[in-house]
Amino acid sequence: MKKNRLVPLFLILFILSFLFLTFFSEAKTSSNKQKLNLLLITIDTLRPDRLSCYSSEYLSTPHIDRIAQKGILFKRAFAHVPLTLPSHVSIMLGTIPPYHGVHDNSHFIVRDEFLTLAEHLKSYGYATGAFVGAFPLDSRFGLTQGFDVYDDHYGSKSSQEFSFVERRAEVVVEKAVDWLGKQNRPWFLWIHCFDPHQRYDPPEPFKSKYKDNLYNGEVAYVDFALGQLFDFLKEENLENNTLIIFTADHGESLGEHGESTHGYFAYNSTLWVPLIISFPGATAKEIEDEVCHVDIYPTVCDMLGIKKPPFLQGFSLSPLIKGKKIPKREIYFESLYPYYSRGWAPLKGFIREDEKFIDSPIPEYYNLAQDFRESLNLASSKNLKELKVKLEKIIKEKSYADKIENEPKIDRETQEKLRSLGYVASIQISRKKVFTPKDDLKTLLPYQSMLMKAMGAYHHGRMEEGIKLLKKIIADRKDFDLAYTYLATIYKDQKKFRLAVETLKEGLQNNPNNYKIITTSGIFLTEVGQYDEAINVLQRGLKIIDYDPEIWNYLGIAYWRKKDYDKALAAYQRALALDNDYPIVFNNLGSLYLSIFLKTKEPQKYQKSIESFKRALELDPNYASAYNGLGAAYSQGGNIERAIFCWEKAVELKPDFTFPLYNLGLAYLAKGNKQKALDYFNRYKTANYRFLSPGEKRELDNLIRKCKESP
């Protein structure tokens, strides 16, 4: 018989405590190891059929295909809005527009009380970074909530230019990869690439290879840029602990249904989006069920093992991934951009399994199983009253923000930058409540098409063709505000300032309460030197909206040029209070302080001038105007070498920039370097001679003669 061996109680407790601590430590370590990172990639304006994992008809996208080959591809995913900002808000909030209240790119801001996906993940210890490609997702729209880093630096562009406020995919990816390399805890990274958006202008070699279809070239280029990201994930062994979600905000019509781009109609050409979900251990699979943007947030929660907020309106797609089903439901969609910008008929609808209902003055119904391209409208054979009641019920049950005061709130600089992307944005003082077939978007499509043709003509240098089209729109539609502002901008580019001002005055006569025409008029009047009239018009605009940094900026310019420095300073300070990283205002503030210094000789004002110009350059290192201003400040301070450096940098960035060209001519002439002075004066003459007054021409010619004189 064996003798019992009693273990002392204290030793048992010690062993148990050791085992508990060891288990807890191992469990904690294991939990950290298993905590997945999240990579969300959204590509602007991307049709699924341009990805070779969806269709082999158009081009090859091998890098995006890599994700599909290791993940789940959803063949029927839909956006809720064919526009950038509201689509991304739906993704980041997990709710549809009637709930979050953001209906288009130009009138709305995300409300602070909503819990974004970034905020939710941040509360679970995630590092959060966003790197976006274009202005519709600028930080001022509110999607910064919850992000440690929200990189939206695209540089400075004049709001009066027809130009794109964007940066290429390679730049976005490079900045994102740099951020990733610094992370030492679980992270959520959102990358947004804007490139497939019109105007289509891919870099080489994609531009040459796809010269017959530049949209396809943009998609191929984005695939190439993302390849660098995916290679980094593989090299750093991040693929094995990262959940990747790839989608688009919306598609592109490319002429289908008469729409050249997007944002107007709500057909599948712009609502159908790619959706690919890849995660460690996933088996390649295709899913036919209809899913949508609001499903992304709850899916992330399930796959990361975190709690789902109660307000989410989508379904987690985890059951579908596991071979199960999700409940049947209606997928709501809308296109309200023409309504908010022009007062045209709103467009709303829903998708339910294989049927799609579009509610508008001329209603539409499609059987998607048989007619995914929506070529045959079956509305005449359906009970439209029942479908309308169902739509009203969806909106009523899903609404939140629209039930409370949520007036459009966005500034004019925003509106004009969005205009450069082809969007129209104008505050409507009052909107119609009853619409007839003449207000239907299908009826009004010819004017939208005419506008896009005018834009295309302008971009390709066919100014007179663009002018003719815009005049035709104005003749037919006195309420089409963008026709006036586009036409005025073309005249301005042609240096026909009188015609530009007259065009805007006509627009104001026909649309006396149109904020965009009011403020554009004020800005143009400022630029042509009619400062008193400009101030009156800009103040008229402030009575409609007083939170627009652009209008305060131009009010400051008008007062500065009138030498009313106190009012100019107050206006600039108001602009910066509304947007504190606005390089244009810092540049103008530098000029104001320099003017005050020249008047008062106060050293403090000189220093503030230098600081303001430098701050503008910190925000935009390629800002030629700020280099010119900084050069002028150094020149007035007696530091001619620094002045020359800044002016040469300005003309390096903008070769036909007349102010620094002239300043460099004067500076080198004063230094005795007549050859360099002559070079700069000749460049100035080439760029600006025909716009000079007779006296200015004589002065320039005299300077050029001095440069040619022998010592």
What integer pLDDT is reported at residue 580 of this predicted model?
77
Is the residue at 612 inside a domain? no
* Other beta carbons less than 10 A from residue 602's beta carbon: 12
pLDDT in tens, 592-634: 999 999 999 999 999 999 999 999 999 889 999 999 999 999 9
C-alpha to C-alpha distances, 612 to 20, 249, 287, 419, nearest whole angstrom: 60, 37, 55, 28
Give which of 91, 161, 163 is closest to 120, Cα–Cα: 91
Could you give the 3-state DSSP secondary structure of residue 38?
strand
What integer pLDDT is reported at residue 9 of this predicted model?
38
Could you give the 3-state DSSP secondary structure of residue 129?
strand
% of the chain residues with pLDDT over 90: 74
What integer pLDDT is reported at residue 157 of this predicted model?
59
Give which of 230, 284, 224 is closest to 73, Cα–Cα: 284
Q: How far apart are CA 85 and CA 109, in angstroms?
A: 9
- pLDDT band at residue 26 under the 50/70/90 scheme: very low
What integer pLDDT is reported at residue 422 of this predicted model?
47
pLDDT in tens, 361-408: 999 999 999 999 999 999 999 999 999 999 999 999 999 865 554 444
pLDDT in tens, 462-479: 999 999 999 999 999 888
Do 99 and 310 form a contact (C-beta atoms < 8 A)? no
Is the residue at 38 inside a domain? yes
* Structural domain span for residue 194: 31-326
Residue 455 clears pLDDT 90, i.e. is over it: no
Task: Count the alpha carbons within 13 Å of 709 in the hemisphere toward its beta carbon.
Answer: 9
What integer pLDDT is reported at residue 546 of this predicted model?
75
DSSP 439: G
Is the residue at 24 inside a domain? no
Q: What is the largest CA-CA distance in the chain?
A: 125
- In this predicted structure, which of 74-83, 99-108, 235-244 has the lowest mean pLDDT? 99-108
Rounded to an integer, the average pLDDT of 180-191 is 97
For the chain, the average pLDDT equals 88
Residue 661 clears pLDDT 70, i.e. is over it: yes
Amino acid in the structure at residue 97: P
Is the residue at 104 inside a domain? yes
pLDDT in tens, 120-148: 999 999 999 999 999 889 887 889 999 99
What integer pLDDT is reported at residue 402 of this predicted model?
59
Rounded to an integer, the average pLDDT of 73-85 is 98
Is the residue at 353 inside a domain? no
pLDDT in tens, 290-330: 999 999 999 999 999 999 999 999 999 999 999 999 999 99
Q: How far apart are CA 507 and CA 105, in angstroms?
A: 23
Q: Give the Cα-Cα-Cα angle 451, 454, 459 (nearest 5 degrees).
A: 130
- In this predicted structure, which of 21-30, 166-175, 700-709 has the lowest mean pLDDT? 21-30
- pLDDT band at residue 427 under the 50/70/90 scheme: very low
pLDDT in tens, 342-357: 788 999 999 999 999 9
Record the pTM. Answer: 0.82
Is the residue at 216 inside a domain? yes
H-helix or E-strand spanning residue 192 = strand 187-193
What integer pLDDT is reported at residue 24 of this predicted model?
31
- pLDDT band at residue 29 under the 50/70/90 scheme: very low
Is the residue at 270 inside a domain? yes
Domain containing residue 75: CATH number: 3.40.720.10
- pLDDT band at residue 338 under the 50/70/90 scheme: confident
Q: Which one has a higher pLDDT value, 27 or 536? A: 536
Q: How far apart are CA 105 and CA 89, in angstroms?
A: 11
Count: domains in the chain: 1
Rounded to an integer, the average pLDDT of 172-189 is 97
- pLDDT band at residue 1 under the 50/70/90 scheme: very low
Tokens of 10: 């204290």
Is the residue at 35 inside a domain? yes
Q: Which one has a higher pLDDT value, 686 or 2? A: 686
What integer pLDDT is reported at residue 6 of this predicted model?
35
Do 522 and 534 form a contact (C-beta atoms < 8 A)? yes
Residue 107 clears pLDDT 90, i.e. is over it: no
Could you give the 3-state DSSP secondary structure of residue 380?
helix
pLDDT in tens, 187-216: 999 999 999 998 899 999 999 999 999 999
